[in-house]
A and B are shown apart, each in its own frame.
Chain A
Amino acid sequence: AQKITQTQPGMFVQEKEAVTLDCTYDTSDPSYGLFWYKQPSSGEMIFLIYQGSYDQQNATEGRYSLNFQKARKSANLVISASQLGDSAMYFCAMREGASNTGKLIFGQGTTLQVKP
């Protein structure tokens, strides 16, 4: 069973507008972490934001915020004030606490294109 689902293969957003990238997850582990990474065409994975399963507040990092809805098992990424440099592939990932390996399980990714 797929553990991380990103249902939007591609998204467009106008420069300076906000955009939400969807992510749902599935786990029976009560302790887990959720991540968002940005992957530009160069290939490097750039860490954006982390949300722990026990965190009460939604994580924020600059223009990035994570809309964490635990009951719905969703962890959507919100990018505010989009910039041309935000055009990239975005991956949602999960790390299960019980695995004790640190293994990241990735979704299929969403390609974001920011229009000028």
Chain B
Amino acid sequence: KQEVTQIPAALSVPEGENLVLNCSFTDSAIYNLQWFRQDPGKGLTSLLLIQSSQREQTSGRLNASLDKSSGRSTLYIAASQPGDSATYLCAVPTSGTYKYIFGTGTRLKVLA
């Protein structure tokens, strides 16, 4: 059974810092991994999708890496801004399926 853990649960940083969010999963037989952003009272927005054959994906100031063998992914945010404040969730499919299991998220607050 796939289990997804995100550390830390909450993070508060001053503006401009580079930061890393962590996601670990128990079953490495996955097709892909997604990182989402969720703003308060809103739905989820997909940030990055990494296929199982890829090691990383980049979009602007965001870089996500995937290490299937160790069951880990990291989301790197460069030069953080107050607008980056949100909850970041990673989602991993259960083995052999496309049914996503979500972590509990990391609540990020970037202070101006």
Are A and B a genuine interacting pair, yes or no? no
**Chain B residues in the interface with A (C-beta under 8 A):** none
**Chain A residues in the interface with B (C-beta under 8 A):** none
